[in-house]
A and B are shown apart, each in its own frame.
Chain A
Amino acid sequence: MYPNDRVATFVTENFVPVKIHIKEQPEVFRRFGAQWTPTLMVLDPDGVERHRFEGFLPPTDFLAQLELGLAKAAFARERWREAEDRYRRIAREFPDTDAAPEALYWAGVSRYKASGDAAALADTARAFRTRYSGTSWAKRASVWGR
């Protein structure tokens, strides 16, 4: 059940949504390696898994994870500018979610991939000094700031 209107609208506008129930389709659980419920999985248009998350999340965090899945799908297809836009939107619109620091990291990588300019990575390292500085993503980005 997805009672939140914002979530329902976002799912409808951005995905082909499919529900798989463990009792009705256990073989599909096995096929995709889903071992817990709920497991939400984003598959790109070629059917490749690009993101998954398990367990309940409130609407804001849930939306952030869906956006993260779309951003990862764009990145995997080397659509760097689309990926960067999506990642930056996550950091901007969902700043208090777990997805935000990860999105900030990959936004910098996406910009670097698009431009070839290492300044994009240094800028990201600098951004982490003031936001999300205690996160593992800040640690990963720290090497770019030396």
Chain B
Amino acid sequence: MPINWMKDVDAALAEAKRTGRAVLADFNAAPM
């Protein structure tokens, strides 16, 4: 099951506030 990652932290925070869910922020340096 693929995770539907967002890339905009403020959009994620807005979604979190709307849904009552926590945000999981993955700060990474993975190969692009």
Do they bind each other? yes
Count residues on chain A whose CB falls below 8 Å from chain B CBs: 40
Summarize B's interface: helix, strand, loop or mixed.
Answer: mixed
- Contact size class for B? 20 to 34
Asked if B28 and A18 sit within 8 Å, CB to CB, the answer is no
How many A-B pairs with Cβ below 8 Å? Answer: 126
Pick from A16, A21, A28: contact of B16, CB under 8 Å: A16
Residue contact B2 to A17, C-beta cutoff 8 Å: no
Closest B residue to A28 by beta carbon equals B9
Asked whether B5 lies within 8 Å of A22 as measured between CB atoms, the reply is: no
**CA–CA, A9 to B2, complex, Å?**
8
> Are A20 and B26 in contact (CB-based, < 8 A)?
yes
Q: Is A39 part of the contact surface with B, judged by Cβ < 8 Å? A: yes
Interface residues of B in 1-32 (CB under 8 A from A): 1-9, 11-13, 15-17, 19-30, 32
Q: What are 5 pairs between A and B in contact, CB < 8 Å?
A: A16-B24, A17-B4, A29-B27, A41-B25, A43-B23
Extra pairs beyond A18-B8, A18-B11, A46-B17 (5, CB < 8 Å): A8-B2, A37-B27, A40-B25, A44-B23, A45-B19
Closest 9 CB pairs of A and B: A18-B12, A15-B24, A34-B27, A43-B23, A37-B29, A39-B27, A41-B25, A18-B6, A19-B5
A residues in contact (CB < 8 Å) with B: 1-2, 5, 8-9, 11-12, 14-25, 28-29, 31-32, 34, 37-47, 50, 66, 69-70, 73
